[in-house]
Amino acid sequence: MSIGIDDGASLVFKRIPVEDLMDLIDRTSVSMGDGTGMDEIRKGIEEKRIGPEGADMIIDICMTRKKASSKFPGLRSPFFTSEGLRWATPQFAADHCADRLERDLVMDLTCGQGGQVLSLARTCDRVIAFDIDPLNCLLTRMNAISLDIDNVEILNMDSLSDKALSRAEKGCAVFSDPARPPGAVERSMDELLPDPRKIEDRYRSKVEGFCFEVPPYLSLDKVPFDCEAEYVSIDGRINRLNLYLGDLKKDDRSAVILPEGDRIAGSPMGRLQEIEDRGDLRFMNEVDPSLVKAGLIELLITDLDGKIERMDMDKRRTMLLSTAPISSPFIKESFKILGRSKDLSGVKRLLEDVEARSVTLRFPVEPSEYWNVRNGLEKDLSGTIKTQLFKGEDHILTSKVEKRRHSR
């Protein structure tokens, strides 16, 4: 494995062989776990010709390891800074994307500290990884060494440069997870670095397929590509949006649930006709947000048996009303409807009627008011049932249905 054309070591660690630096980080991690004092740990690090800045960085890497191991269960001794880990693609998502990109050569143009590279190395014959930050290149190299990966070349350079472009080969694919400002109000292509539009324009003559990992709340109206928009959720939360171009595109839209890997794909369709008689629709089923963002809820409904109707609750939740709990990987939870009320005083009476013990509010409430509202509803309740309160046109009181295993 090569660190690349330019020296990928951070200036802080330039005099230290990478294997020695990895050993020092491992030993520091053990010392921190054993309860060794921080002053003694710093002294031991600085004796290796590493100054205070380097000591801070090593300690940060060691303190990040527990969280990094959770995000990358395949790495026994991960090498990430706290800031680098924050933006790293989780292993579940990286593995899923790597399966789609499988081929002879893939170029990761924004490799960060190696989260996606490690997965690409598993499915591709060769991986060339670029990053403009030498520290990122160094940590990517450490993570690759720790897994005995030998099919990755790591280059410390601008991926839009002529040198980078010269490494592309006909038929290869490009992956890019561009940097983005953390506090942006409106997600757009303009704030991504490097800009996916510039990458596509620069590499299109050589590259057969592209995958851009972009903010999941980026409006598709602002995406100029003919691409598949794949929304990914992890453990029921929307996590990322992958844009697949060229030969990587399979469908117009898709929704994927990880770590299970279930997928629904197709083109968005109009809302189905409303059901006139809703009397026997006694259950609400919360739809996974990946399917909502992809606009493919109606595809799920048409694939299910029985009487089902869509109900949009608020910005966070979309429900399917049904005559029985829906068993599908794209249903997060199911609830039995206990009653409806226009106001909270009616909810209070419902809670007493169903012999409730507690009520969890499942609709937007100001944090400062949440417990005032909840305590008011729960006052003097003496029953045994735990309930959940939703709010659409009415307040809807429910009890959670135990999730059944669905057939894959």
How does pLDDT run across 137-179, given as a tens digit for each residue? 999 999 999 999 999 999 999 999 999 999 999 999 999 999 9
pLDDT band for position 85 (cuts 50, 70, 90): very high
Reply yes or no: is the peptide bond before residue 194 cis, omega within 30 of 0: yes
Query: What are the helix (H) ranges across 342-405?
Result: 344-353, 367-378
For residue 38, pLDDT beyond 70: yes
Q: What is the pLDDT of residue 271?
A: 83
Which pLDDT score, from 0 to 100, does residue 185 have? 56
Confidence of residue 211 (pLDDT cuts 50, 70, 90): very high
* pLDDT for 6 beyond 70: no
Secondary element (H or E) of residue 163: helix 162-166
pLDDT digits (tens, 9 = 90+) for 326-384: 999 999 999 999 999 999 999 999 999 999 999 999 999 999 999 999 999 999 999 99
Q: Check residue 385 and give its pLDDT.
A: 96
Query: Phi and psi (nearest 5°) for 95?
Result: -65, -45
Q: What is the pLDDT of residue 144?
A: 96
Decide if pLDDT at 408 tops 60. Answer: no
Checking if the pLDDT of 405 tops 60, the result is no
End-to-end CA distance of the chain: 40
1 pLDDT tier (thresholds 50, 70, 90): low
Half-sphere exposure of 124 (CA within 13 A, CB side): 32
Q: Name 209's Cβ contacts closer than 8 Å, sequence gap at least 6.
A: 101, 103, 173, 174, 244, 245, 246, 247, 248, 249
Q: What is the pLDDT of residue 10?
A: 60
Residue type, 118: L
Find the radius of gyration of the CA atoms of the chain.
25
Residue 221's alpha-carbon distances to 249, 296, 389, 397, in angstroms, are 18, 17, 35, 37
Q: Output the pTM of the full model.
A: 0.91
- Please compute the mean of the pLDDT values over residues 277-281 and round it to a whole number: 78
The pLDDT score that the predictor gives to residue 4 is: 47
Mean local confidence (pLDDT), 384-395: 95
Average pLDDT of the chain to the nearest whole number:
92
